[in-house]
Structure 1
Amino acid sequence: MTLKKLGGPLLGLLLAGCMLLVLLHPANTLAAALRGLAIWWDVLFPSLFPFFVISEMLLGFGVVHLFGALLDPLMRPLFNIPGSGGFVAAMGYVSGYPVGAKLTAKLREQQLISRVEGERLVAFTTSSDPIFLLGAVSVGFFHDASLGLVLALSHYGGGLIVGLLMSFHGRQDKPTAMSKHPGGSPGLPQAAEGQREGRLRLALNSMAEARRRDGRSLGELLKSAVQSSLQLIIVVGGLVVFFNVLMELLTRAGIMSALFSVLGSLLSFAGFPPGLSAALASGFFEVTIGARSAGEAVASVPLQFKAATAAFILSWGGLSVHAQVASILNGTGLRYLPFMAARLVHAFLSAVLLLLLWKPVVGSRLSAGFSSLPAFTGFSASPVSGLAASLGLLGVLLGAALLLSLLVWLLRQTPLRRPRP
């Protein structure tokens, strides 16, 4: 019997075992479900839902096409994706998972990117948002805001390296017609014509053409954006609740403790503190629980290894985030396996980068007497202030990307003067 034929019965047995554990531990199951529901309602809904609605409306108004044409000179040579990927990257880094996957799926549905370009894009735009990384992890879990800078550098730096590496993914495939236009939009002027007319005019024409093709009124666009965003945020919430319940059931069944023991032995064999096994095992399933466990690890574990474990977990994302992304990519033709491989590479890169940057970044701050960064602590004050900080950071990222794109384009247009003989 093949492995594919065994998959169905094994999955059925696992689900039956979970149902039996639910019947044996109803109170603990309910408490875990309520914890997951509280995380969704208090954190995820207010932080993700506005970005879902805004991104839908920006696509309808053609703003993504505008930035796509403007950012194409930067994104093409670096990441081998259309310029619209720059907007997705900025939104994904600011608002966190799974916004990058959601926008990538939207671009794929509108045939603005090819399958390979979509797989490259979703691989490095799925990341933690700075509010969670700086506020919740650094201040809330580790009680040390000075860790925020090194965590951000390792996490987002590792993501950019993954983007550069993923530019080689699928290069053997022939480019489709949709990927040959600025911003990845079919039916728009070619790059040579855009250079003659001016890139800004090309970007404005791209936005106007996209708006004309959409054709919906403001009311229809808002209604559609709210409906689709509600459906997606409910799926996200259901997955968060499910994985919280699953982890509770595995704990009650003794499976998590066995996993802690195995991971502890592997860490000891590799020369790392075995006290990090609980954080790694929890982070494999759910990023919030794993990052909190890393901050609460035994005092004998050096702080840099705790932080490296948190960076690993944040970049891996947990099976909960993987399930969210897989549900979003379903039906778009984008494969899950490249995304999972990119998450593993990102996780290891982030952990290594943090250990390499520990002494230059954190060591110098601690030796200088800096034990806190007040500017970071305000990120987690409230959902309203967090949303305002995210929108401000989004503006900064898009502005910096536009300036870099303009600089690259100007360098390309400037002819090199050959020395006279």
Structure 2
Amino acid sequence: MTLLLTIIILYFIVNPKICIQSALSGAQLFVNAILPSLFPFMVICNMLIAFDGITIYSNVLGPILCRPLKLSKNCSFAIIASLLCGYPLGAKYSAELYKNGYITKNEFNRLLNIASNAGPLFILGSVASSMLNNIYYGYIILAANYLSAFIIGLVTAENNHGVTMEYKGKVQTKNLGEIMKNAISDGINGILMVGGYVIIFSIIISILKNNVLSTIISTYFLDGITINRDLISAFFLGIIDLTNGCYIITSSSLDIPIKLCFLSFLCSFGSFSVIAQTSAFFYKYEVSLLKYVAYKIIQGIIGAIITFLASIFLLNTIPTFSSTLTNSTMIVSAPFILLLILTIITIIANKLLHAS
């Protein structure tokens, strides 16, 4: 790690202009896209927690959202936060629920994988409308994102249903002004941390895209590979940073079905940037990061498979879509079908292990 950080410092010294531009680009992305959507939502959710809104949400929506997943009703608040606003608020409020005694440690571990998804604002707004110029593609990715999380919830479900825990904290006696002050303070701390990750990973992406080593690999090692270079570059960079990866994929010459599958994988998996953001909220609770990442990879594969199946069975009647079902699309069908079979086998094996 010391060697890697030293290389980054040396790159700063050698190419300060590129690093500054990438930092400004990350800051602009944070200010224009992330800050306006996440910060108000964080403040409102913090106030809801202070006024014990979790109890209301649990009683109203808990049976609908949590019973199929064998979670306690109190988990519904984090699930709703994830469904409405996406990364990293699901992880943040899962940690808040566990810290305040609403859920058990086992539920906390499961909830981190279930309530950790890309939000509709990012998928429908940034990816579908701005990058793909078609909102209907966004609905396919969003549905796959939610369904893959639900499947992960079923895979990790235990035989016993979640038992709702009574809140062990003190009754809130603070006035509205103090509650709002604390909510804003916590929101500022959380959103600045997210912004810091966005800027740092923007710099890392810039370093990876503009160095001699990546040029050599692209020129000499990928010449004999028949796979599209844009696909390799977009997938690699997308694993590191979600937003940059989605932009590169949508800007490539790949067929629409292939684009949607890889976009769905990235949105369901997140990226190392997103994983770093979410882990900042749960690292102190002794959660296995390796297990969390493994489940996110599985969720990404499931999301890509769902999107691929939807591409075949749901959208082939749309002219602008069916015209893109070329030979290259059919070439990748075999691997996706194989992945579907392997996923089903994994789910069955997991259930058998739990049953035993």
Q: Which of the two has higher C-alpha Rg? A: 1
Provide the rounded CA distance (Å) in 2 between the counterparts of 1:358 and 1:128.
20
User: Runs of 5+ in structure 1 lacking a partner?
Assistant: 1-10, 188-209, 370-421
Q: Deviations over 1:46-83 (max 9, x none)?
A: 10001111111111111112222344434554222221
Provide the rounded CA distance (Å) in 2 between the counterparts of 1:78 and 1:284.
31
Q: Deviations over 1:384-409 (max 9, x none)?
A: xxxxxxxxxxxxxxxxxxxxxxxxxx
Which residue of structure 1 aligns with residue 251 of structure 2?
A: 296
1:224/1:53 CA distance change after superposition, 3 Å: same
Matched residue type, 1:240 = V
Contact residue 269 and residue 299 of structure 2 kept, 8 A: yes
1:231/1:360 CA distance change after superposition, 3 Å: same
Q: Deviations over 1:358-377 (max 9, x none)?
A: 133222233799xxxxxxxx
Is 1:278 the equivalent of 2:261?
no
Pick aligned residue for 1:228 from 186, 195, 203: 186
With normalisation by structure 1, the TM-score equals 0.71
Provide the rounded CA distance (Å) in 2 between the counterparts of 1:20 and 1:368.
47
Contact residue 291 and residue 313 of structure 1 kept, 8 A: yes
Is 1:17 the equivalent of 2:7?
yes
Provide the rounded CA distance (Å) in 1 between the counterparts of 2:304 and 2:11.
35
Which residue of structure 1 aligns with residue 305 of structure 2?
A: 352
Work out the number of aligned pairs and report it. 323
Give the drift of 1:324.
0.5
Which residue of structure 1 aligns with residue 166 of structure 2?
A: 185
Give the drift of 1:131.
1.7
Instruction: Please show how residues 19-418 of structure 1 align to structure 2 within 5 Å.
Output: 19-168=9-158, 180-181=163-164, 184-186=165-167, 213-257=171-215, 273-298=228-253, 301-366=254-319
Matched residue type, 1:92 = S
With normalisation by structure 2, the TM-score equals 0.83
Give the drift of 1:100.
0.4
Contact residue 201 and residue 273 of structure 2 kept, 8 A: yes
Contact residue 155 and residue 315 of structure 1 kept, 8 A: yes
User: Runs of 5+ in structure 2 lacking a partner?
Assistant: 323-356
Provide the rounded CA distance (Å) in 2 between the counterparts of 1:103 and 1:250.
33
Which residue of structure 2 aligns with residue 7 of structure 1?
A: none
Contact residue 155 and residue 314 of structure 1 kept, 8 A: yes
1:303/1:72 CA distance change after superposition, 3 Å: closer
Moved over 3 A (4+): 69-77, 254-268, 272-275
Provide the rounded CA distance (Å) in 1 between the counterparts of 2:220 and 2:109.
33
Contact residue 230 and residue 249 of structure 2 kept, 8 A: no
Matched residue type, 1:228 = D
* RCO comparison, higher one (Cα < 8 Å, 6+): 1
Identity of aligned residues (%): 23
1:333/1:315 CA distance change after superposition, 3 Å: same
Q: Deviations over 1:258-294 (max 9, x none)?
A: 67689969985xxx65541111011111111101111
Matched residue type, 2:142 = A
